[in-house]
Structure 1
């Protein structure tokens, strides 16, 4: 019978690499505590940008997307969904907002998970929202050029309710006991949830929402300001590879959490590093929007979109960024490449 060993995570060996990443995350979180109480306007902009990026990225991983304009309108609740994809995007937006605002009030239980899943599909005609799967399923990896392969066969449908209850209980007990770092427990919880694959649809999106929920509850709030989902989307191949590596012998409790936890910690560390750069940018300084746009382009060493720059220079509004881009183009310090959605700016 499958069980969840959250007291030792199957005798997990914490490698020097895993320990180094954890130490850096704790260090950056500590350094940023005071900064997060300042520059509220800039930080509020980061929150709004991260909501759009997270909603976009988490759905795009599953092949669900819409145009940039429609995405922003949906996230900002300025329109209603026109099709199935936009209905699913709207559901993700609502659950993400609920977690952002009420994470302390949402217990990690089977009932909470079912309730969040129901909201995820509120705008669709699906009948399975808020219900565990009633048919067996498989976890399929999708690769470039349309190829795909079965990564893992989850437990059968009839075992799902008991497994989710058991997972939640094991996680809550371990958090309360405090024997292992909540970073490790959160990563393991997300991995085991994906492995159970408890729903007919929405498992990946639910896993990323639960990742944010458990991180926030343990005072790792970086996902509010930097899109962790986008970082996962940008490293999707590594994400699937590490999931597969940690899946071996999962049903017989012989799997190693180490490959997935190493990846998970890398993503969280990158998020904190990104936030650290943006907080440094947002500290009071006499720099114009044009100067900060130039700094961002020099630091990133790649062409950037307007959305990228809004995220990297959060203390200035979109109108200010647009004026800065025009000013820098007129001075021939940057140039615009591409058209429409593919428009980017780079140094001359």
Structure 2
């Protein structure tokens, strides 16, 4: 049987399209504009970090069908409560790994041992015995859709060769990063894609892939994931995410797959994150009131927004301040609620 290899010298003779080149160039330009060296104590950045942690923890778990209430989520991310059920145990584990990557990324190498350790922490609050161990049974990658449908997207390698494949993947990635012959963002995208394709664990593969995406981006100088939730952007584009994985998976086992579909999707996500950050950091001569900020964002988006979405769009105001302004706008009949409970969103009332 042919053992899967990882050609990170050419990425299987990857053709970098003009569109991909444009995205790489725009990301580079926006990184230069968004230097935050002198803004580390800025209250807006602090709010962005808080919101991003909540959104990342929520979105990455929700992609896998794991969730809790907004109130419980905020308490768990703030470490003000212990988990009450299995979902909250897994959310708590994700929070811990996310914090570890945010705070200690420069000390965390991209190795098989690192991956096992992070996976162990991911399941640290659960009674599961597989945390920190590669799979001991063969598995399948299943795509799950919002309408309840699911389908087998890909059959990963056998369990017995998983440790060797992860070792080889990490070696190929680290060597390519050190050689600096291919843009690091393309190598990061390829690494995440190959990790997902190996599917090395019995559970937690998707969440681990997104955590490793954040870690590898950090280590290559792309810190946007600290302020903007990349996981949330992936959740919002989940169908396109699955399609890109599917298209790049063809002939993966025989080393003839094209990384291009997934890398193009990945670059789009990273670019959108930098654009979102640029929008949040736009300087203004005069601070806009919270009510006007809410109205402006509802007008700009043209679709209903939740409190959490508004909080990320208006990082200069706390969630409590936004909730107070929403009540005032509801009372004055300038906005109305759409949905209820966890799904509550707000939309402008347009005068006839």
When normalised by structure 2's length, the TM-score is: 0.95
- 1:144 deviates by 4.3
Pairs within 5 Å for 1:146-165: 146-165=148-167
Alignment partner, residue 318 of structure 2: 317
> Which whole-Å CA distance do the structure 2 matches of 1:249 and 1:119 have between them?
33
Which segment drifts farther, 111-120 or 284-293?
284-293
What is the match of residue 120 of structure 1?
A: 122
Deviations 1:140-197 (A, max 9, x none): 1123443322211111111111110110011001111100111000000000000111
Give the secondary-structure state (helix, strand or coil) at the position aligned to 2:143: strand
1:203 aligned onto 2:205: yes
> Cα deviation per residue 1:195-235 (whole Å; 9 max; x = unaligned)?
11111110000000000000011111111111111111111
What's the counterpart of residue 243 of structure 2? 241
Question: Secondary structure of the residue that 2:14 maps to in structure 1?
Answer: coil
User: Quick one: distance in 2 between partners of 1:321 and 1:148?
Assistant: 38
2: CA distance, partners of 1:343 / 1:230: 18
Please tell me whether the aligned partners of residues 35 and 279 of structure 1 are also in contact (alpha carbons under 8 angstroms): no
Query: What is the count of residue pairs matched by the alignment?
Result: 347
Contact map agreement 1:182 1:218 (CA 8 A) in 2: yes
Q: Deviations over 1:261-314 (max 9, x none)?
A: 01111111111111111111x656232212222221122111211111111111
Matches within 5 A, 1:17-56: 17-34=19-36, 37=39, 40-56=42-58
For 1:101, the equivalent position in structure 2 comes to 103
**Counterpart secondary structure, 1:132:** coil
From the superposition, tell whether residues 324 and 39 of structure 1 become closer, same or farther in structure 2 (CA, over 3 Å). farther
The answer to whether structure 1 residue 340 and structure 2 residue 341 are counterparts is yes
Are the equivalent residues in 1 in contact too, given 2:39–2:45 (CA < 8 A)? no
Rounded Cα–Cα distance in structure 2 between residues aligned with 1:337 and 1:248: 42
Q: Name 2:329's counterpart in structure 1.
A: 328
**How far apart are the structure 1 equivalents of 2:313 and 2:101?**
24
- What is the match of residue 299 of structure 1? 300
Instruction: Say which SS state the counterpart of residue 100 (structure 2) adopts.
Output: helix
Greater Cα shift, 206-215 or 337-346: 337-346
Q: 1:279 to 1:341 in 2, by over 3 A?
A: same
More displaced stretch, 67-76 vs 256-265 = 67-76
- Farther off after superposition, 75-84 or 318-327: 318-327
String of CA shifts for 1:224-248, please: whole Å, max 9, x gaps: 1111111111111111111011111
Deviates more, 1:335-344 or 1:199-208: 335-344
Whether 1:219 and 2:216 are equivalent positions in the alignment is no
Structure 2 segments unaligned to the other structure (5+ residues)? none
- Secondary structure of 1:319's match? helix
Q: Does structure 2 conserve the Cα–Cα contact (< 8 Å) formed by 1:88 and 1:121?
A: yes
SS in 1 for 2:167: helix
Q: Scaled by the length of structure 1, what TM-score is found?
A: 0.96
**What residue in structure 1 maps to residue 288 of structure 2?**
287
Residue 260 of structure 2 aligns with which residue? 258
**For residues 319 and 36 of structure 2, what CA distance do their matches in structure 1 show?**
26
C-alpha deviation, 1:6, in angstroms? 0.6
Structure 1, unpaired ranges of 5+: none
> Structure 2 vs 1, CA of residues 327 and 4 (structure 1 numbering), >3 Å: closer, same or farther?
same
The equivalences for 1:58-77 within 5 A come to 58-77=60-79
Is the 1:39–1:283 Cα contact (8 Å) retained in structure 2?
no
**How far apart in 1 are the matches of 2:36 and 2:85?**
43
Q: Distance in 2 between matches of 1:5 and 1:138?
A: 24
Give the direction of change, closer, same or farther, for the CA distance of 1:286–1:135 in structure 2 (3 Å limit): closer
Structure 1 position 319, deviation (Å): 2.5
> 3-state DSSP class of the match of 1:141?
strand
- Richer in helix (by share): 1
SS at 1:293's partner residue? helix
